[in-house]
């Protein structure tokens, strides 16, 4: 669903600049958790409020959406959550193609540009993926946040005892994700195709989750641990 364009986004972001950061600190103190795609921030702010000893970092790539999440945290004076206007692909360092213009034949000029990691390795205890874009077109499968290429990135930032928590209302995305987790060596547990009737504790809901469950739609959910690092 496309977010509506908000008025005065830039000045609003400036007013909550204390809640916006460019990257997770290289040497974070204490436990940290990360939400990828935080939306309006209902889920992560509720978690942060109830877990004051944990620092939360929430990624969202749409400025008009992240500003609402940061404003919510500011209104409620929740100091242990910070927001990154960023994409999940940038969590770890890498190379991406950057459009540099057109050549004399009007063909695109692309250059490899390196970017630094937004998150240090082996730092995150829990990574939340809530109601990610299902991207139903098969040619976009590699862009889904549970594609194996992303799961490999998450593996590098998760602590040895860390895990991923994944929720969605989309059955095809859930089935795809289960296969990707398994093929990537993750251990799946707390698997359910109807979270709200499963008995699995679920005290923190997103805006989408509330809307879909009120419509009688099942919520698909799982947790997954990355494979253990091989020792020589």
Secondary structure (H, E, C), the chain: CCCCCCCCHHHHHHHCHHHECCCCCCCCCCCEEEEECCCCCHHHHHHHHHCCCCEEEEEECCHHHHHHHHHHHHHCCCCCEEEEECCHHHCCCEEEEEEEEECCCCCEEEEEEEECCCCCCCCEEEEEEECCCCCCCHHHHHHCCCCHHHHHHHHHHEEEEEEEEEEECCHHHHHHHHHHHHHCCCEEEEEECCHHHCCCCCCCCCHHHHHHHHCCCCCEEEEEECCCCCCC
User: Which active-site residues does the annotation give?
Assistant: 133
Distance CA 122, CA 162 (A): 9
Cα maximum dimension of the chain: 63
């Amino acid at each position: 669903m496309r977010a509506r364009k908000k008025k005065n986004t830039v000045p609003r972001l400036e007013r909550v600049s204390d809640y916006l950061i460019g990257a997770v600190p290289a040497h974070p103190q204490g436990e940290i958790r990360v939400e990828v795609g935080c939306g309006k921030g209902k889920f992560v702010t509720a978690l942060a409020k109830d877990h004051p000893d944990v620092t939360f970092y929430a990624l969202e790539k749409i400025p008009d959406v992240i500003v609402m999440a940061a404003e919510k945290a500011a209104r409620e004076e929740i100091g242990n959550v910070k927001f990154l206007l960023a994409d999940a692909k940038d969590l770890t360092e890498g190379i991406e193609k950057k459009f540099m213009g057109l050549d004399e034949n009007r063909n695109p000029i692309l250059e490899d540009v390196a970017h630094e990691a937004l998150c240090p390795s082996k730092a995150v205890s829990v990574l939340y993926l809530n109601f990610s874009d299902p991207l139903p077109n098969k040619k976009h499968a590699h862009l889904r946040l549970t594609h194996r290429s992303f799961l490999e990135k998450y593996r590098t930032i998760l602590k040895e005892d860390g895990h991923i928590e994944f929720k969605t209302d989309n059955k095809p995305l859930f089935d795809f994700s289960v296969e990707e987790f398994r093929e990537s060596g993750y251990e799946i547990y707390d698997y359910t195709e109807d979270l709200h009737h499963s008995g699995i504790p679920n005290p923190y809901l997103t805006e989408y989750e509330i809307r879909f469950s009120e419509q009688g739609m099942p919520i698909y959910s799982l947790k997954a641990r990355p494979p253990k690092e091989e020792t020589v």
